[in-house]
């Protein structure tokens, strides 16, 4: 899987490269719009991550030209929040998705996975991790064969974490996907903490092996090892 990152800010570019390479993607960084444009014409990529604010040729122009030439590669745009109109323009000019700066890295990873997965047959996720298993049809969750008594919200939260097992899930992702809130306000953070704590009490506390982990400053992850 090859990803082209067009980003002029060196620190961000480096972080993106390292983060994505750690996830076993092959990453090429282009620091300018021109270079990105050249690379995408010359080589094959599975995904382009494009910053909109670039020196010289700006991201939107690059994107529009590429789409005009019939390039089908999915493009994920990075943009600033105060440019709602820009986002719309971005999607008009052929972007597949956008992410608002400053974005959380787990969120970026989730979007990248979603983009690369699209178009293929989605294997039904195995809602199982170690001795935890969930059945979304009967809405039952069991650990080591014992039924877990979960509220509706707790079930949704655990299901989301399980579907993203071994991936860090940010608070933004939870706010949007579990709570369906567009704005992540302070009260919601506290609400999340309460729910995670309750979930821990039911899922982890009675058992030896802990599955729910907090990644400080980033989010939460469901995985086997510490």
- Please report, as ranges, the residues that interact with another protein according to CB under 8 A: 81-82, 84, 102, 171, 179, 181-191, 194-195, 198, 215-218
Tell me how far, at minimum, the Cβ of 152 lies from another protein, in Å: 11
> The tokens of 129 are what?
């991790």
Whichever of 102 and 119 has its CB closer to another protein, that residue is 102
| In the complex, minimum distance from the CB of residue 101 to another protein, in angstroms, rounded to a whole number | 10
SS3 35: helix
Dihedral class, residue 223 (left if φ above 0, else alpha if ψ from -120 to 50, else beta): beta
Q: Which is nearer to another protein, 124 or 182 (CB)?
A: 182
If phi > 0 it is left, if psi is from -120 to 50 it is alpha, else beta; for residue 152 that is alpha
| Nearest to another protein of 1, 84 (CB atom) | 84
Give least dist CB 64 to another protein, A.
25
- Show Cβ contacts of residue 81 under 8 Å, excluding neighbours closer than 6 positions: 100, 101
- Give the residue with the Cβ less far from another protein, 82 or 208: 82
Minimal distance in Å, beta carbon 119 to another protein?
32
CB of 133 to another protein, least distance (A): 25
Cβ proximity to another protein: between 69 and 216 the closer is: 216
Three-class secondary structure of residue 57 per DSSP: coil
User: Across the strands, what pairs with 46?
Assistant: none
Reduce the DSSP state of residue 144 to 3 states and report it: coil
Cβ neighbours around 173 below 10 Å, total? 21
């Amino acid at each position: 899987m090859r990803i082209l990152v067009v980003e002029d800010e060196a620190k961000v570019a480096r972080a993106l490269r390292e983060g994505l390479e750690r996830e076993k993607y092959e990453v090429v960084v282009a620091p300018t719009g021109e270079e990105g444009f050249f690379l995408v014409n010359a080589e094959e990529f599975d995904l382009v991550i494009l910053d909109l604010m670039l020196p010289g040729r700006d991201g939107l122009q690059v994107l529009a030209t590429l789409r005009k030439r019939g390039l089908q590669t999915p493009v994920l745009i990075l943009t600033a929040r105060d440019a709602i109109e820009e986002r719309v323009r971005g999607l008009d000019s052929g972007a597949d998705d956008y992410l608002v700066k400053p974005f959380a890295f787990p969120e970026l990873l989730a979007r990248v996975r979603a983009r690369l997965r699209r178009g293929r047959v989605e294997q039904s996720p195995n809602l199982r991790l170690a001795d935890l298993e969930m059945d979304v049809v009967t809405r039952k969750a069991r650990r080591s064969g014992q039924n877990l008594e979960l509220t509706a919200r707790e079930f949704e939260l655990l299901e989301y974490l399980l579907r993203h097992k071994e991936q860090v899930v940010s608070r933004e992702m939870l706010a949007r996907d579990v709570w369906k809130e567009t704005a992540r306000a302070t009260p919601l953070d506290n609400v999340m903490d309460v729910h995670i704590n309750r979930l821990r009490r039911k899922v982890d506390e009675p058992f030896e092996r802990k599955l729910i982990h907090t990644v400080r400053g980033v989010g939460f992850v469901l995985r086997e090892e510490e």
